[in-house]
């Protein structure tokens, strides 16, 4: 006896590169949300994507601190994580 499979075997509906299985929520003012939506839209992102990118960048900068290329100090800061190289400063050697 043979088993016959249906025509969609092995295919997945709405396959995504990454499964988002965690959730978060928070409260804010209408004005805050409106500002966040405006910035997200200017970057061609949805609000949820924008918030995730900011939270991930901040967590990454704390958990994996960037080191100054000159003095190798971890007291090195990128003003807007992910932006151009010119937005950095080292608080030890003064590199800009």
Residue 84's pLDDT band (boundaries 50, 70, 90)?
Answer: very low
60, 38: one domain:
yes
58, 77: one domain:
no
58 HSE (CA, 13 A, CB side): 6
Quick check: is 56 in a domain? yes
Quick check: is 1 in a domain? no
Quick check: is 45 in a domain? yes
How many domains does the chain divide into? 2
Look at 93 and 10; give whichever has higher pLDDT: 93
Quick check: is 22 in a domain? no
Residue 86's pLDDT band (boundaries 50, 70, 90)?
Answer: low
The average confidence (pLDDT) of the chain is 79
Task: Please determine, for residue 74, whether its predicted confidence score (pLDDT) is greater than 80.
Answer: no
Tell me, rounded to whole angstroms, the distance of Cα 22 from its chain centroid. Answer: 15
Quick check: is 10 in a domain? no
Per-residue pLDDT tens over the stretch 27-44: 999 999 999 999 999 999
User: Residue 33 — φ and ψ, nearest 5°?
Assistant: -60, -40
CB 78 within 8 A of CB 68: no
* Number of neighbouring beta carbons within 10 Å of residue 68: 19
For residue 90, the enclosing domain spans 65-96
37, 56: one domain:
yes
Quick check: is 85 in a domain? yes
């Amino acid at each position: 006896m043979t088993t016959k499979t249906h025509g969609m075997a092995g295919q997945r509906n709405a396959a995504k590169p990454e499964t988002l299985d965690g959730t978060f929520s928070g409260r804010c003012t209408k004005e805050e949300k409106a500002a966040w939506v405006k910035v997200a839209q200017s970057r061609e992102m949805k609000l949820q994507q924008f918030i995730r990118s900011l939270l991930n960048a901040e967590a990454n900068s704390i958990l994996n601190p960037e080191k100054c290329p000159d003095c190798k100090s971890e007291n090195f800061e990128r003003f807007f994580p992910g932006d151009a190289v010119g937005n950095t400063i080292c608080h030890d050697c003064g590199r800009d």
